[in-house]
Amino acid sequence: MALIVNTLDAPGLLQAINDGIKSGHVTTWSVDADGDYTHTPAQWARKAWMRPSVEVGRITFKILTPKEATLSKEVYAVYHGRFTEMLLAHFDLKFTNATATALPAHGDIL
């Protein structure tokens, strides 16, 4: 389960997301000391994390779940959908497209 975001400037997009969160421009996501993102509304907070991996031409966000928890399809859908929504709402000029896998991807920690 991955979100793949194609961009000409992967490090720049990741920095823009972090700056948006820190400045309060992006209000429904937080980033932790490991660089992982979690959705902050009470219903979804810390149900999963999106871990970025910067690659040439893209960022792949793998999903992580809390220890001793099972990732539901609903949490998967909300995290991938809302993260994509945040990118479209705030950073649409910094990437070309985003794709979500339907099933677990290599590197997911479920």
What would the pLDDT profile of 8-34 be if each residue is shown by its tens digit? 999 999 999 999 999 999 999 999 999
Nearest to 13 by CA among 58, 49, 50: 58
Q: What's the rounded mean pLDDT across residues 32-48?
A: 96
pTM of the model: 0.90
Task: Report how far residue 47's alpha carbon sits from residue 66's, in angstroms, rounded to the nearest whole number.
Answer: 7
Q: pLDDT tens across 67-83, in order?
A: 888 888 899 999 999 99
62 close to 5: Cβ distance less than 8 angstroms? no
Is pLDDT of 48 > 70? yes
Structural domain boundaries of the chain?
2-100
How many other CB atoms sit within 10 Å of the CB of residue 37?
22
How many other CB atoms sit within 10 Å of the CB of residue 82?
16
Tell me which architecture the domain covering 2-100 has in CATH: 2-Layer Sandwich (3.30)
Residue 44 identity (one-letter amino acid): W
What pLDDT is stored for residue 106 in this prediction? 54
Q: How confident is the model at residue 107 (pLDDT cuts 50, 70, 90)?
A: low
